[in-house]
Amino acid sequence: MGLEQTDWAKLRTLEHIRRLDPAAALEFNVTLQDARYRNWRIALVTNQLFDMARALRLSATANATSADRSVCLPITMSRAEADRQSVWPIGEP
């Protein structure tokens, strides 16, 4: 998940760029696809783990750690709105 968050932090730099040259567009596209793949892998492994837990008759327990939603926010969300929705007192990356 940390690598996925790094990808999304890189993509957030788009907030400050008005035009992309072809090399930058390629770099951002590669980063976006990487983030999407990491998200897919996390979902796949999570589903597999839940299936295994059900087969073992394990029950879920509440997670006491606040969820970091930074990777789940839409790329179109403004920095200010992301910071308002952040669960972290220091804001989002």
With CA atoms as reference, report the closest residue to 24 among 34, 35, 13, 40. Answer: 13
pLDDT of 10 reads 83
pLDDT of residue 93 exceeding 90, the answer is: no
Q: For 7-65, how does the pLDDT look when each residue is reduced to its tens digit (9 = 90+)?
A: 888 888 877 888 889 998 998 899 889 988 988 998 999 999 999 999 999 988 887 77
How many residues can be counted in the chain? 93
Residues 5, 86, 67, 40: is their CA dihedral positive or negative? negative
